[in-house]
Amino acid sequence: MYNQPTMEAQHPHRSTGIVFVISGPSGSGKGSVVRPAMEADSRLGYSVSATTRPPREGDVHGRDYWFVSTEEFEAMVAAGEMLEHAYYAGHRYGTPKKPVEAAVAEGRDILLEIEIQGARQIRAALPEAVLILLLPPGARELSQRLRSRGTDSEAAIMEREAAYASELAAWPLYDYLVINDDLDRAIEQFRSVIDAERSRVSRLDIQAFLDQNYRGV
């Protein structure tokens, strides 16, 4: 398991949080990469999506998703409470706007684990967002992983496989590609992207840093 020390408060001179998006076809291993990376990084929050999909075994309401009815979902969309939303494999998924806006305003970074239609909407709404695409090394690994999860019906698996071609075709939308071949390496790459984006001069208040730490020079 990857357990490098966290880089707490390395960039104190930043007032705006960064929105990170990770997408990958079903079976790409998003959860396996994101979970340990988040555990090692207390400065990265997670955007809990709303969905009309029924909970899988082990899913926790409010942690993995907000599990809502179609009526509740539609009411949230109508009230303008969704930052983005999409229909995927027979169910609706959406990102509640408020927690993301609050994180950005308070300087906290936040991760959205969403599919490509949502990623496209985020790119349009928040051009500064960082979009990361996660792919297994090849089609065979992808199908194997999807099936080995053992939590989906055959019909659900086939619906997810049917989305592969359009998901792969969306690659030009993304800023970074992480290949999930070796899990530890994929986690490290994902964390490197986050660190690099946090180091961008354009995101930092360098003048405040100099005023505070280089006074008199």
Q: Please give the residue ranges that form the binding site for ligand 5GP (CB under 6 A).
A: 26, 49, 53, 84, 86, 88, 93-95, 113-115, 117-118
Q: Report yes or no: 116 and 166 within 8 Å, Cβ to Cβ.
A: yes
Cβ-based nearer residue to ligand 5GP, 36 or 118: 118
Cβ-based nearer residue to ligand 5GP, 14 or 193: 193
Q: Report yes or no: 34 and 22 within 8 Å, Cβ to Cβ.
A: yes
Q: Report yes or no: 132 and 19 within 8 Å, Cβ to Cβ.
A: no
Cβ-based nearer residue to ligand 5GP, 18 or 134: 134
Minimum CB separation from ligand 5GP for residue 214, in Å? Answer: 43
Sheet containing strand 176-179, edge to edge, reads 44-46, 109-113, 19-23, 130-135, 176-179
Cβ-based nearer residue to ligand 5GP, 13 or 97: 97
Minimum CB separation from ligand 5GP for residue 164, in Å? Answer: 11
Minimum CB separation from ligand 5GP for residue 111, in Å? Answer: 11
Q: What are phi and psi of 135, to 5 degrees?
A: -135, 140
Minimum CB separation from ligand 5GP for residue 170, in Å? Answer: 12
Minimum CB separation from ligand 5GP for residue 7, in Å? Answer: 26
Sheet containing strand 91-96, edge to edge, reads 65-67, 49-51, 91-96, 82-88
Instruction: Locate 132 and state its tokens.
Output: 């990361």
Cβ-based nearer residue to ligand 5GP, 35 or 200: 35
Minimum CB separation from ligand 5GP for residue 118, in Å? Answer: 2
- Alpha-carbon distance of 144 to 188, in angstroms, equals 23
**149: exposed, middle or buried (C-beta count within 10 Å: 0-12, 13-18, 19+)?**
middle
Cβ-based nearer residue to ligand 5GP, 43 or 85: 85
| Closest residue to ligand 5GP, based on beta-carbon distance | 118
- Alpha-carbon distance of 28 to 173, in angstroms, equals 18
Q: Report yes or no: 108 and 45 within 8 Å, Cβ to Cβ.
A: yes
